[in-house]
Amino acid sequence: MAVAISNTPNPNALKFTVGVAVGGPKTYVAGGDVDEPWAAELLALDGVTSVFASADFVTLTKAPQASWEDIAPAASEILERAFS
């Protein structure tokens, strides 16, 4: 299934629905302990500050100066690979 991206009320957060259980609820932050390889990959993207996983979606939060145009395609690819 392709990842569906939705806006959230926070302009610095996007919801990525993957359509299968992702575990959680769990929050990972840059510089913190990460026990999921896919979450570590997401946090390695330039500008991503946190990853929240629950039910069938993952929400990414970015730094205000970072661009979703750079982050969203790479994040979708990581999530499609991890949950397909």
For the question of whether the overall pTM of this predicted structure is more than 0.75, the answer is yes
Q: Tell me which residue of 68, 82, 69 sits closest to 13, measured CA to CA.
A: 68
Specify the number of domains making up the chain: 1
CATH of the domain at 10: 3.30.1370.70
The range of the structural domain enclosing residue 37 comes to: 4-83
Task: For residue range 28-44, list pLDDT tens digits in order.
Answer: 999 999 999 999 999 99
HEC string for 54-83: ECCEEEEEECCCCCHHHHHHHHHHHHHHHH
Task: For residue range 65-83, list pLDDT tens digits in order.
Answer: 999 999 999 999 999 999 9
